[in-house]
Amino acid sequence: MPTGILTDEAADQIVTTCRTAIGDSLRSVTYFTRDDYEQVYLREELERDADLSTFIGHEWHGFKTAQTAYEGSELGDYNYTIRVFDNGFLIRVTSDREGVIVTTDGLTVKDFNEVATAVGSFLDSRAVA
């Protein structure tokens, strides 16, 4: 399903970044823009049956809604979203032009913060390039 919206080097970099932060709890990594997406990692025992186009549309819309809704709030700037499911977790880290969705098995809040920081650094480095 790769679409080629990331170079092989960038895809390897984001997967390595997530694997370093999460380890064996990593389930999947999907890079996305407003118009396209690419699943760059899927743990081998998992099936490729998720409707990623629907997930991406929802997550992009959710990012824009959250960013607008909380803008100027006393909570500070919006950073990332964690979603909790029966069989794992989803973390979304998004900039104004791109984002990454990472799915995992159980993690601690510290683990989520580490992966969000690492993915945010990856996205920031792409904005400069």
User: Helices 8-22 & 109-128, crossing angle to 10 degrees?
Assistant: 160
Residue-wise pLDDT tens digits, 21-30: 888 999 999 9
Class of domain 8-128: alpha beta
**Amino acid letter, residue 27:** R
pLDDT at 2 over 50: no
Q: In residues, how long is the chain? A: 129
Distance CA 34, CA 41 (A): 20
Residue-wise pLDDT tens digits, 29-81: 999 888 888 999 999 988 776 777 777 777 776 777 777 788 888 888 888 88
Residue-wise pLDDT tens digits, 5-22: 888 899 999 999 999 988
> What totals of helices (H) and strands (E) does the chain contain, helices first?
3, 5
pLDDT over 90, % of the chain: 20
